Chains A and B, each alone.
Chain A
C-alpha cells in the first residue's frame, strides 16, 4: 500500500489505498510528527534556509516505512509505504515528494484556496493518483 498525507500539524489532505486500517495509519502519521518536529528543530536557525526539505525515513516500524518532507513554510508531507515494498527506493520517494511539493505550490497559488483549509484540488488529486498507480 501507499499513502499520502499533507498536513500542517493537522491534516489538510489524506489519501490512502487501501482504506482499511485507516485509523492506525492516522495514528502512524500523527506520531511521525514527533520525529519531523525533532528534525526541524535540530536544524539551527542559520542553516534553516539551506535545509534539505526531504527528511528521509522518519522511523522504521514492523509493517511500514514512514517518509517525511517539510517545506520552508513548515508544511509537512508524509508518505507511508508497506515495509515489504522494496521497489521504492529513496530516490523514488524523493521525487514523489518533489512532485507533491510542486503540485502543492500550485494549490497555494490558487487565489481561491485559503491556506489552512483542506485541499480539494482536482489537479492535486490526480497527481497523487498517478503516483499511486506508479508506486503500487
Chain B
C-alpha cells in the first residue's frame, strides 16, 4: 500500500465539469470548423459554464453500457463505487453529443443532406446505446438567418429535419458562420445549460442512487449527496466492508463539504463534517488494522482543513476559534494515534516477513471498487471467504504500515496547523503545536530539530510561569541534548530541571543532579530514562569521546534567561560609603537542588574593575584531596540554606563622587582545569523567575518565620546593586556672622569663621564663597564678591569667588564683602575644602573633605529718593520756562532697617541748567533712622534753548552714604540718582511784579509790573486791571501798547488797600495780540495774586510780616 492510499482520488477533488462531445467538426482541415472549435475552447473564463469539450469522430465508440438490470439488489454483493466510474463519467461518457453539420436552409441538395444528417445522428445514437446522453444538431450555415417566423422555408425544413433525425425542436440549432461567432457560441452554450439541467442530472449509481451533478445546481446536487450520504450509513456495516463504507462516506462527505464551501455556507460544511466524524469515529473496523481507521480519520480532518483553507483563500473569513488549524491539529492527533497503533500492531517478531504471494496484488493491478480488500474483491458477506487469505492480507497491510514514516506525516500536519494558528492570533496554541512538533522530531530521532523547536518555545512557558509544561519540555530537551552529547545544553537543562521551576520529584532531581556532577567531573552521565536504546548507545560513545575534553569545555550561562537551581543576590550594604570607611558587599547564594553542591569560584564584577580582585572567592588549592575543610565547607551550598559571602574593599580617592555598580556575579561550578560552567548573574541577581518572586514577596503580609541564628530568609534580602563613594565627613565648623538684610549697592560684610575639629592638621583649606550656582542668571550679574572691603566692587569682581586659599588651618576669621546691586533674595554658598590624612583598614589615604554652608541673603534698597520741580512759589511745575528760576527738591526716605548716615550729597547739573546760587549739600552728616526722611532743594534756572519747547536733562544727584554699624567698618557708598528730565519752554512775554511784602489798610501800596518782551518782534500788548473790592488803585486801567524786542515796559500802580487780611490783588490781564495762545492765566502765574494787608496800626507796629 502506498502512503497515498488514504489520499482522495484526483477525480473526486477536481471541479466536476459536464463533458460535451462535439462531432462533425474537422478542426484540422476546415478553417471554419477550426474557428468554431476555438470559440468554444478559447477564453473559458469562470463566468462561462464549466464544460469540458472534446472533439470526437462521428463514429466514436463510447464505453459500452451494460444491459439494464431489473433490480438494484443485484449490485450489493459487488461493491459500492467502481474505481473507474468517476473518470468514465468525467472524461469518457459525454452528457451531450453535439453534431455539427453544414447545411443552409436553401441548400439545393436539401433532401440528400437531410438524410445524411439523419444517418449521422443515428450513428451517434447507436454508439451511445443505452446511455442517458442527449444528442443535439447544429447546422453551420453560411447565410445570416432571417428573424424567426419570417423564413417560412426555414421553419418548414427545420421541422422536417427534426422529424428525420428524431430530435425535438429544442435540440436543433443554427450557427451562422458570420463575424459574431463567439457571441453565437456563448448563446449556444447557454442553451446547452438549459439542456443540461435536464440532460446532465443523470442519476449515477453511488450506493443506491446518487445524483452527480457536474453542473451549477449546487443545492440540488447537495441534496442528492446528502441522501447518498445517509444511505451509505444505512448500509449493513460489518468488519469486512467497514473500510469500503468509510471510504465512500469520506468521498461523499468531501463533496458535500466542498459544495457547502463553494456555496458560501461554511457553517453547513462544518456541521456536516462534525456529523460525519461523529458517525464514523466509532467505526473502527478490524482491530488488527486499527491504524487504518486512525489514518482515515486523520485524512478526513486533513482534507477538511484543506477545503477550509481553500475557501479562505477564495475570500471566506475564519475566526480564532474556527479555523483550519484545528482540523490540521486533529489530523495530526490522529496521525500520532495511528503511529502509536502501528507501533503496537506492527511490531512483529523479526522473523515475520512480507507474505508471498502478495495478497495485495490484483490481476488488473488496481482495485475494481473503492475501499475493498484486494484479496476478496466484490465479496460482500459478513465473514471473510478465506480466513488464511485474510490473515495473510492483514499481515501484509501491517508490514506495509510498519514502513510508513509516521513522524513525517505528523510533523507536516502540525506545521500546517502552526501556520494557521499563527494567522489567527493563537500564540499559545502555536507554542503547544511546536512542542508537539519538537517531540515528534525527537521520536523521529531528529534531535537537532527537536531541540531547536523546544528551545524556541521554552521561554514562552517560562515567562508565563507554567512550570508543569516547562518541566515536561525541559525533560524532552534534556533527552535530546543527552542523545546528541551536547554538553552546554545538557548542563543548562539539568540546572533548570533541578531548580525551583521544575515540578519533578526529588528522586528525579537527584538523578539529574548526579548526572550533572558527572558531566562537570568529565564523566559519562547516565542515560535519560525512556530513550531509544540504539540512540543511547551512540550517545554513550559521544560522551566518552568528550572525556578527552576536546572542544570547548568552558560554558557561560546567562542566568536571566533561565531558572537555574542556584539563586544569587548581591548587594552593597549601604547606598553610599564614605571614602574613609571600607565598602562592604554581601553576596547571598542559595541552591534548590536535592544534594549539596560545591562550587569552585565566586566572583563579583564591579563597574570599576580594579576592585574585582577584592571580591573574589576562589578555591585556592588546585588538588581536590588537599582541600582545607574550612574552604570546603565555605564553598559548599546546602539545599534550602542561604549562604552569605562578605567582601570588603577600600575605595580609591579618585572614585569619590562616583557610583560603583555590580555589573555581574559569577559562580563557577566544576573545575577550572577541566570542564566548568560559569553561571553569570547580570547586575548581581535575578533569573527568569526572580522579578515575579520579588514582587510577590514584597506584597506578602506573611510574618517572616523566625529562622535560627545566622540563617536568612531569602525573600528579605533586598537588592542594592550600586553604591556611591562620598567624601569623608568633614570635622570642621563653618560659621557666618553678618547683619541681614543687605542694602542695595552696599559692601555687605559677612564674616566666615572656620574651626577645625580634626585630630590632625587640616591642610590646604580653600574657601569658595559667593552666589550659589544655579540661580537666576540676573543675580550673577548683579552680585559681586571680594575679600577687600575698602573699595566698592565693580564688574571685574566675580559672583563666586573660588578657592580662597587659607593655607593650613589657623583658627580664624575671614571677612568677605558682597556687593548686591539688585534687590531680592539670593542664596550664598560657602564651600570649605581641605585635605586631611586618615587611616582605613591599615591604609593611609589622603582624604579631601569639604563642607558647604549656604545662607539666604535678602537685599533691600537703603532709601528712596523722590525729586520734583517746583516754582519759586513752591507750586508743582510741569514745565519750566527759560530764564525763569525754579526749585529742584529731593526727599530721601530711608527704607533700611539699619541707620544710614548720609555722608554727602551733590547735584551735578546738566549743561541745560545752571544754579542760581552755589549749591551746597543741605543733608551732609544727617543720620536717617528707618522711615525717616531728609530733604534738600536747589534753586536753578534754565538758559534759553534754541527751539521753543524741548525736554532737557537735569543731571545727576549723588548721595554718599554708609551703614551706621558697630559690627564692622563700612565703606562709603556713592549712590547715583539720575534726575528726571523736564519740559523747557520759551515764553514770549515775561511779567513780574515788584511790590512790598505787605500792605496796610489805607496806605498807598506801590506796585510795579515789569513786562519784558523776550521775542525778536515788536509786541502789541493789551493790559487791563480788573477792579477789586479790597483795593482802590490809580494807574492805567486799560492800555494798549507796543514793546520793542528785548525791551522792558514798566507799569506803576498805586494800590490802596481797603480791607485787612489776605486780599486778592486786583487782577492784571495781559493779552498778547501776536500770541493769542499765551493766555492771561499763564502770565498771571508769574505774578503774586494775593497780599497780606495789615490793619491800620498804631505807630511803631512794624513787626508783623507777610508769610
Contacts and interface: CB of A to CB of B under 8 A. Distances in A.
Interface string B690-712: 00100110011110000000000
Nearest to A34: B426
Given A62-B333, A112-B701, A10 B466 contact: yes
A117 B426 CA distance: 27
Nearest to A113: B701
A34 B427 CA distance: 7
Contacts of A30: 428, 432, 461, 464, 466, 469
Interface string A27-60: 1001101110010000000000000000000111
Nearest to B460: A30
Contact of B426 (A23, A31, A112): A31
A26 interface: yes
A23 B427 contact: no
A115 to B, nearest CB: 7
A58 B465 CA distance: 22
A35 B425 CA distance: 9
Which of B277, B320, B701: most chain A Cβ within 10 A? B320
Contacts of A115: 699
Contacts of B469: 23, 26-27, 30
A114 B701 contact: yes
B954 interface: no
B332 to A, nearest CB: 12
A10 B465 CA distance: 5
Contacts of A9: 464-465
B320 A35 contact: yes
Contact of A111 (B472, B696, B701): B701
B278 to A, nearest CB: 10
B558 to A, nearest CB: 23
B298 to A, nearest CB: 12
Contacts of A114: 696, 699-702
A30 B432 CA distance: 9
Contact of B432 (A27, A58, A112): A27
A35 B326 CA distance: 13
A27 B429 CA distance: 8
Given A62-B330, A114-B702, A23 B465 contact: no
A90 to B, nearest CB: 16
A34 B464 contact: no
Interface string A102-120: 0000000001101111000
Contacts of A27: 432, 435, 469
A9 B277 CA distance: 34
B320 A38 contact: yes
Nearest to A23: B472
B83 interface: no
B468 interface: yes
Nearest to A115: B699
B593 to A, nearest CB: 22
A26 B461 CA distance: 12
Interface string B323-341: 0001000100100000000
Contacts of B733: none
Interface in A87-136: 111-112, 114-117
Contact of B466 (A26, A35, A116): A26
A33 B465 CA distance: 13
B87 interface: no
B381 interface: no
Which of B326, B330, B466, B700: most chain A Cβ within 10 A? B466
A11 B699 CA distance: 18
A59 B692 CA distance: 30
Contact of A34 (B277, B326, B429, B692): B429
B326 to A, nearest CB: 8
A112 B468 CA distance: 26
Contacts of A111: 701
B347 interface: no
B425 A38 contact: yes
B320 A34 contact: yes
B321 A59 contact: yes
B336 to A, nearest CB: 12
Which of A27, A35, A114: most chain B Cβ within 10 A? A27
Contacts of B699: 114-116
Contact of B702 (A38, A59, A112): A112
Contacts of B321: 35, 58-60
Nearest to A57: B321
A114 B701 CA distance: 7
A26 B435 CA distance: 13
Contact of B425 (A11, A23, A34): A34
Nearest to B433: A31
B466 to A, nearest CB: 6
B42 to A, nearest CB: 48
A81 B465 CA distance: 24
B44 to A, nearest CB: 41
A27 B426 CA distance: 13
A27 B432 CA distance: 7
A58 B428 CA distance: 14
Contacts of A38: 320, 425
A116 B320 CA distance: 29
Nearest to A62: B330
Nearest to A111: B701
A58 B429 CA distance: 13
Given A26-B466, A111-B701, A31 B472 contact: no
A58 B277 CA distance: 21
Contacts of B326: 59, 61
B428 A31 contact: yes
B267 to A, nearest CB: 13
Contacts of A61: 326, 330
Contacts of A10: 464-467
Interface string B631-642: 000000000000
B949 to A, nearest CB: 75
A62 B327 CA distance: 10
Nearest to A32: B428
A115 B326 CA distance: 35
Which of A34, A58, A112: most chain B Cβ within 10 A? A34
A34 B426 CA distance: 5
A31 B321 CA distance: 11
Contacts of B700: 114, 117
Contacts of B425: 34, 38
Nearest to B321: A59
A26 B696 contact: no
A118 to B, nearest CB: 10
A112 to B, nearest CB: 6
Nearest to B436: A27
A40 to B, nearest CB: 13
A25 B845 CA distance: 67
Contacts of A35: 320-321, 426
Nearest to B693: A116
B700 to A, nearest CB: 4
A115 B702 CA distance: 12
Contacts of B435: 27
Nearest to B465: A10
A4 to B, nearest CB: 15
Interface string B454-492: 000000010011111100100000000000000000000
A116 B466 CA distance: 14
A31 B696 contact: no
A8 B695 CA distance: 15
B699 to A, nearest CB: 6
A60 B321 CA distance: 8
A115 B468 CA distance: 21
8 contacts: A10-B464, A30-B461, A31-B426, A31-B432, A61-B326, A62-B330, A114-B700, A117-B700
The 8 residue pairs across chains A and B that have the minimum distance between CB atoms? A10-B465, A34-B426, A31-B429, A59-B321, A114-B700, A31-B428, A34-B428, A27-B432
Given A30-B469, A117-B696, 14 more contacts: A23-B469, A23-B472, A26-B468, A27-B435, A27-B469, A30-B432, A30-B461, A30-B464, A33-B428, A34-B320, A35-B320, A59-B326, A111-B701, A115-B699
